[in-house]
Amino acid sequence: MDTLEVILSCFLVVLMVVSLLSNVLVLICFLYSAEIRKQVPGMFIINLTLSNLFMTVLNMPLTLVGIIGKGQPGVDTVCRIVGFLETFLVTNSMLSMAALSTDRWIAVVFPLSYNSRMRYKDAAIMLGYTWFHSLCFPVVAVCLSWVGYNHLYASCTLSQSPADDRVQFVIFTVAFHSLSFLLSLVVLCFTYLKVLKVARFHCKRIDVITMQTLVLLVDIHPSVRQRCLEEQKQRRQRATKKISTFIGTFILCFAPYVITRLVELSESIHINPYWGILSKCLAYSKAVSDPFVYSLLRHQYKKTWMDIINRLLKRSSLNTSAITGETPNIIVSGLLRLSSCNVTIIFPCIPTTRLEDIQPIKSLLVFRTIHYSIQGN
């Protein structure tokens, strides 16, 4: 093995270990938390997690053996089975991400009708279509003997033998990647850009209310005012960062491999085998990023695995906060509605950890209530 092969092998081993641990942790959190299991998106997440786990356990090790041994791992039958599963699992993962983005789009754009639009029955139908769509292409490929060991990627995947009709294989490959990668990418972009549009609209409304509130609260402590302005700035960037992460990781991981597969169809272009293996490893890296992007960095999953750790260590969550030195924020929020004068004052959430900062706000609320009541009478 030369230096590049050693580097690629080590990279693949790291991907296998991290993917296995992170996806198993997501699975444990799903099984442990009844709250997560009750949510409809949990069906899509568990489908994505299981696909990533099977990819990690079955496909990655054989690719590693192919890199090290520089040849087909196992007999033809085993390689065809693994190639069939690889085609199915990759498509299933892509469509699961598209289903998750559709769920988020419905939740954000149609929040009042979300429960009627996205029920367990609807999620089961979407998963059924995902599985049917994912099975169609590998079944066709197996029937036409287009699954086997591909030396360019050192893995068992879609592969054409010299005796096969090249035109049919080209049409099949283009259709496969168009209806898996391209279709999922279009759905991701459409849904998440709609979500981003709604998020920006609400951010503008909250910014206006925040600035009006800061003008009214003349006695507010300067530190609270500064934290409100910082939170306002972070709020504008939060949605953009999350959506950029969803779409960016999808493109970064899958696009090099898909483009390489399409370029491979041209007989006049020679592709470096090291690049082929690297593009395959990048596609595998999506199984590493998915648990963090969609699950483990969310508040519910953080709380769940911290509860699991506390239970194993027989420690309460309060002790955990004391050990880590975390101080819970005090959220001050108010909604004052005076029907006598038709005045509504909305005070957005103001995070603070100093009790003395709350007193001016409480005093001002009482003063405003009396003031507007007198004016109304």
Handedness of CA 209, 215, 221, 222 (dihedral sign): positive
CA dihedral 9, 11, 13, 15 (to 10 degrees): -140
Confidence (pLDDT) at 293: 92
Find, among 327, 335, 330, 326, the residue nearest to 359 by Cα: 330
Q: Contact 46/127 with Cβ under 8 angstroms?
A: no
- The full DSSP string for 333-347 is EEEEEETTTTEEEEE
Q: Contact 166/160 with Cβ under 8 angstroms?
A: yes
Decide the pairing of beta strands 343-352 and 330-338: antiparallel
Q: Contact 321/49 with Cβ under 8 angstroms?
A: no
What are the pLDDT tens digits along the chain (377 aa)?
Answer: 788 899 999 999 999 999 999 999 999 999 998 889 889 999 999 999 999 999 999 999 999 999 998 888 878 899 999 999 999 999 999 999 999 999 999 998 888 888 888 989 999 999 999 999 999 999 999 998 899 999 999 999 998 877 667 889 999 999 999 999 999 999 999 999 999 888 888 777 776 676 666 666 656 667 766 777 677 677 777 878 889 999 999 999 999 999 999 999 888 888 998 999 999 999 999 999 999 999 988 888 988 988 888 888 876 554 554 444 444 443 333 333 333 333 333 344 444 333 344 444 444 444 343 333 333 44
Model's pTM, two decimal places?
0.78
CA distances from 338 to 79, 147, 214, 334, 359 (A): 73, 71, 20, 13, 22
Find, among 20, 19, 26, the residue nearest to 304 by Cα: 26
Decide the pairing of beta strands 155-158 and 147-150: antiparallel
CA distance 215 to 171: 64
Confidence (pLDDT) at 276: 93
Confidence (pLDDT) at 358: 40
Tokens 């990647």 belong to residue: 177
Confidence (pLDDT) at 220: 65
CA distance 54 to 201: 41
